[in-house]
Amino acid sequence: MMDLIPAPLRVTRDRRGLARLDADTRLEAGPGTEGVARWLRATVGAATGLPLPGHGDGESRIRLAVDPALPPEGYRLALGGPDRLIAGGSAAGVFWGAQTLRQLLGPDAFRRAPVRPGRHWELPKITVEDEPRFRWRGLLLDVARHFMPKEGVLRYLDLMAAHKLNVFHFHLTDDQGWRVEILRHPRLTAIGSWRSRTKFGHRASPLWDERPHGGFYTQDDIREIVAYAAERHITVVPEIDVPGHSQAAIAAYPELGNTDVLSARGREGGALSVWDTWGISPHVLAPTEDTLRFYEGVFEEVLELFPSEFVHVGGDECLKDEWRASPAAQARRRELGLADEDELQSWFIGHFDRWLSARGRRLIGWDEILEGGLAPGAAVSSWRGRSGGIAAARAGHDVVMCPEQQVYLDHRQHDGPDEPVPIGYVRTLEDVYRFEPVPPELTPAQARHVLGAQANLWTEATEDHTRVDYQAFPRLAAFAEVVWSGLPAPAERDVAGFERRMAAHYGRLDAVGVGYRPPSGPRPWQRRPGVLGRPIDGPPPNR
């Protein structure tokens, strides 16, 4: 009914006919809901041209109220009677109800300005009762491989909010770029935020884009992003990836690297540049006390900028060959009494687990942090399938499910020759819609450790927001329904019904200007040969 996405728990039709919103309709904000009223005026008010004043004498009004009897993020949107109400268990619940109200007004309510000024607006006389299935409904955006300017990030926060997603995993550092200003280590951005060129095309026939690529967020930018997210009830979880995926940091501060190995291999003093290609860099952080102190300094500034409970420390794909080859790293390992390099990685992550816990935060890392022993308070992002999440939940750790087989949005969505992205794995809209975050292998008690799930959008192959849109949508809408709506078991999910409801949702995405992949395949401009998205001849290669 009403083609709401994500589908709400319950909708009842109270009366026939439509309720009218017009220039006299008041928007009354109860205690704690003033921010939602501001958001409604700035979005729905702007799109409809209705002023939605806080006070007035007319009959027509919408009340916003916090009702602690409702679930924390749940809401009740009652449009049947004269007293129209959005009640939520918290301001967040009221906000999700406001998102539903906007969808009910139709696609034009998603525009920035009225298409037909002076028209009145109608709402069905229904009651929606709704609450999310999971508390962690996430999207990862990789701004390290390709930088996304601040305005693009704010736009994605709006798109997340429109889909009732509430955790923005901000992948800020990687081999190919460091994107967050750290005042005490200025070279991280002065050097680490730029690479001189970028590889594109397929592995078999690489080409080079000789334009430099880079950019970073100042601390003021970050504060703006975090505040903008908070107004939309989205938590920003920063990721600073250690001890692998750190080549940009080592390029900025060579002493962070395994200088003995690098010098012996002809890189005098450990000199590296910010990486210009894809894959996993063999260069990783040296396991020294100085490295720990350096990153404690980084994390101190990160904690000041990001109030989130969880801080992501990466921990994925740390190649250990350099540690094996480095006499200094081996001496360090022996000194610490560690049996092998997996334990060295575990020691590294364990240090930051204790460091973050002592500051009232919680560490989360990719499932590789299970290898060599998981730090006691750590949570796990399960990306190499579900097994890391299952092992972690069984051991009593919280987990976020994001298996690459189903919710990696950088993977292509179709195996047709027109797909603009040269990544061979195919994850269709249906694959995402049939994703089940809670592995059936878990007991109910273990399953409670599944905080939720996130879709991950890596950007090796997406150099700007139009390509990010194409990768994200419509799959992100399917993902939103997986984490918000209580869908049945994967085999029983109504994919055709979802696709039918998407017809209305495409209208909303059009109104916002989202360059989604249409069901019929890419539009001509989406097929254009881009820097990274050369058309593919023959079957797509795996990356």
Q: Per-residue x/- mask for ligand ACM, residues 379 to 398, rule CB under 6 A?
A: ----x---------------
State which residue has the least CB distance to ligand ACM: 316
Angstrom distance (rounded) from CA 479 to CA 472: 10
Which residue shows structure tokens 């594109």? 200
Element (H, E) at 356: helix 341-357
Enter the tokens of residue 127.
């009651």
499 lines the binding site for ligand ACM (CB under 6 A): no
Look up 255 and say whether it is catalytic.
no
**Would you say 145 or 465 has its CB closer to ligand ACM?**
145
**Would you say 299 or 366 has its CB closer to ligand ACM?**
366
Nearest to 157 by CA among 141, 181, 173: 141
Q: Per-residue x/- mask for ligand ACM, residues 307 to 346, rule CB under 6 A?
A: ---------xx-----------------------------
**DSSP single-letter state for residue 401:** E
How many residues form the binding site for ligand ACM (CB under 6 A)?
Answer: 4
Rounded least distance, CB 459 to ligand ACM, Å: 12
Look up 57 and say whether it is catalytic.
no
**Which position among 174, 221, 353, 419 bears the catalytic label?**
174
Rounded least distance, CB 340 to ligand ACM, Å: 22
Cα dihedral across residues 123, 127, 132, 133: positive or negative: negative
Q: Which of 170, 295, 299, 366 binds ligand ACM (CB under 6 A)?
A: 366
Rounded least distance, CB 317 to ligand ACM, Å: 5
Residues 363-394, buried b or exposed e (16+ Cβ, 10 A)? Answer: bbbbbbbbbbebbeebbbbbbbebebbbbbbe
Enter the tokens of residue 213.
């690529």
Rounded least distance, CB 352 to ligand ACM, Å: 17
Look up 245 and say whether it is catalytic.
yes
366-370: long-range pairs with CB below 8 Å, 24+:
366/314, 366/315, 366/316, 366/317, 367/316, 367/392, 368/315, 368/316, 368/317, 368/318, 369/313, 369/315, 369/345
Angstrom distance (rounded) from CA 211 to CA 406: 33
Rounded least distance, CB 261 to ligand ACM, Å: 23
**Would you say 146 or 333 has its CB closer to ligand ACM?**
146
Rounded least distance, CB 420 to ligand ACM, Å: 21
**Would you say 134 or 366 has its CB closer to ligand ACM?**
366
Angstrom distance (rounded) from CA 176 to CA 199: 11
**Which position among 158, 316, 317, 436 bears the catalytic label?**
317
Contact of 133 with 62, CB cutoff 8 Å: no
**Which position among 146, 185, 233, 245 bears the catalytic label?**
245
- Please report, as ranges, the residues that interact with ligand ACM according to CB under 6 A: 316-317, 366, 383
Enzyme catalytic residues:
174, 245, 317
